[in-house]
Chains A and B, each alone.
Chain A
């Protein structure tokens, strides 16, 4: 402070008062470079008392270079040695140094010139600037390390800024994404506002932020464009941010491909496993079916009669093909009859037994009746209870209206029904019914095939049983015939032998009487002829059974033939006491084998005599269109229906051999002769009411007829 200048003292006091109120830092330095005064702002800025600054100014410099600079400028201080502005770091006491931007002013008007330094403390600003730089550097580092690109555009979509680590992956440096001023349109070589990179920016200009994907220099970016607003919230351009997701996309793609390959491998493996398992299941199915067929064949082959065969069949299919089954046979003597059934569940067997009398009506449209009519398999699926109820409006599915049977079937359960024919020689012998009580769609095509196989085996078994039955029956008939034939042959033989013995005895005794000898010889001859007739009949049967009958066709007048025959048989008719009446049309003729037709009529008349009980015999012959009908009616004891079915077979007879002779071949031979003429023979009779044998003959028989059937069926 300058002590010897009172005026200056006053001035300084004024100066102090004025400058203490200033926020500027003020130092007053004399020409020796000594700080003579400071204002309050200096004390406040450094937190030091005023005296701490009253020293040569260069001692206040915190940096040696600045200290030297100040000392050089202030000692001596002259105008021109000190620039108007200087910046140096001030240090006072223990307070940290501060950067101050000083302005120097010489005050030379005074006797003692001084320099007034007014300073602006830059420390806070510098620190803030440093922090800003550091923040910017940090942000730049962050941006440069991010796989992203940041850019801004003006309202014309011209780039105003670009940065980001994503640029490096594009081979570009900061700010090189596009030259500032380059338009997005030209950058993407498009003028299309709908371009995937342009449209989001246009929306951003309209105030809408949009995320989008864009491929940029072969890199893939997930981008977002937002409006860039000024302080007044006006949209002045766009801000874009794009993340380079190329590697991520490649990785995701590779991962997806790997997953895809893995999935395909797994799928292929699974498919193989499924196929392998499926093949094993199929093989086992085939195996089990084969076992069933083999077992079925074995069992059916062991059966000795049809009922056993059908029982075995019904049992075979449970449970492999059915929960329960039953078989309807058409019956050995007429209408269908339920033969047998099988159920795997012992608690339901008694229910099933209730169906043994359940006979389906052949008029029913469905079920076994349909199969009997068509010979085809019938499959019924998803059967509802109302299809098994008695109804006037429609037939229940199973072909019976019996409420008890229908109730039993409903209790047993029937959701699927498979009806399979068992074929015989002349159509459907029986129908096998396979039932699933639980599965509405139990049967597929393979099940049908399987069931048909089993039914075919059952049919073979049935046929074998029938053939066995027929063979046994034929053996029985043959044995009966042999007994009858022996008896029939022995009778004339014995009589003939008696006559021969009588003649022999007369010769031996030497007393032959011619008359007696003639009677004996005649009687022997009669018996021999009778033997001959019997043997001819047997031979005829053999021939009819094994050879074709050759007819010698000629024009025959039937009236004349009958008259001649009756004349020939007159003695026998007389002995039998049978009166014969003939009713014949005027013209009854045709082209036939005369001898064979005579053989037929002879046999029918002989039969009428034999069984006519001495009552009248009526013969009629009339011509119809193309045919001739001949009937021979007796009034004897008649023939039962049962016998009518078999009297036309070989060795068959309706009466006891004890009471009536004959070999039982006549009607068989008659039928064969008539069939050789394409004709036929039938009988109408009731027990006790006599019998009427009716011959139908075409008037013009073919010349070379078919071979006579070796095993004829009865006439219908």
Chain B
């Protein structure tokens, strides 16, 4: 994979949905019909979780199976409410989610992701601590489909 390709997938495009809420911000975009990417920065709170849902709901409603890529590398802290909300959201739409790929760095977030993974299912959730590997998976998903 070339550096350009990495850059293209790691940077939110100008058309990305962007919201700032209470110490955190979220970018969401759709590089492909069945691939959704979110990048969250700062504190992952309930307001951001709601923004996340608002972006995902209409896509999930019209797409049989989606692959979700969430970049939490720049998230240093999250709230229990946000984790529970996102877990409930994933469980409510689990039939339409093919896979969830999450990039993490903070051990706190990793622990939360662990709890999320066990609630949603091991097979569905993939965790990355390596941005290059995360982007490789995203690139494959974007370029070649399944």
Contacts and interface: CB of A to CB of B under 8 A. Distances in A.
Interface string B83-127: 100000000000000000000110110111111011100100111
Nearest to B78: A284
Contacts of B114: 288, 292, 317-321
A295 interface: yes
Contacts of A348: 130, 133
Given A315-B122, A319-B127, A348-B133, A288 B112 contact: yes
B128 interface: yes
Given A318-B127, A345-B127, A437-B130, A289 B111 contact: yes
A323 interface: yes
Nearest to A294: B118
A409 to B, nearest CB: 15
A344 B126 contact: yes
A242 B130 CA distance: 69
A347 B136 contact: yes
A491 interface: no
Interface residues of B, number: 28
Contacts of A345: 126-130, 133
Which of A283, A319, A346 neighbours the largest number of chain B CB atoms within 10 Å of its CB?
A319
A644 to B, nearest CB: 42
A347 B78 CA distance: 27
B111 A320 contact: yes
A184 B141 CA distance: 90
B134 to A, nearest CB: 8
A66 interface: no
Given A284-B112, A291-B118, A320-B113, A439 B107 contact: yes
Interface in B28-79: 77-79
Contact of A281 (B77, B104, B115, B137): B77
Contact of B108 (A281, A318, A436): A281
A346 B108 CA distance: 22
B130 A438 contact: yes
B110 A320 contact: yes
Contacts of A320: 110-111, 113-115, 117
Contact of A292 (B80, B83, B115, B133): B115
A57 B126 CA distance: 123
Interface in A282-301: 283-285, 287-289, 291-292, 295
Closest 4 CB pairs of A and B: A320-B114, A344-B127, A319-B127, A295-B118
Given A318-B114, A344-B127, A413-B130, 18 more contacts: A284-B79, A284-B83, A285-B111, A288-B112, A288-B114, A291-B118, A291-B119, A292-B114, A316-B118, A319-B129, A320-B110, A320-B111, A320-B114, A347-B133, A347-B136, A436-B129, A438-B130, A439-B107
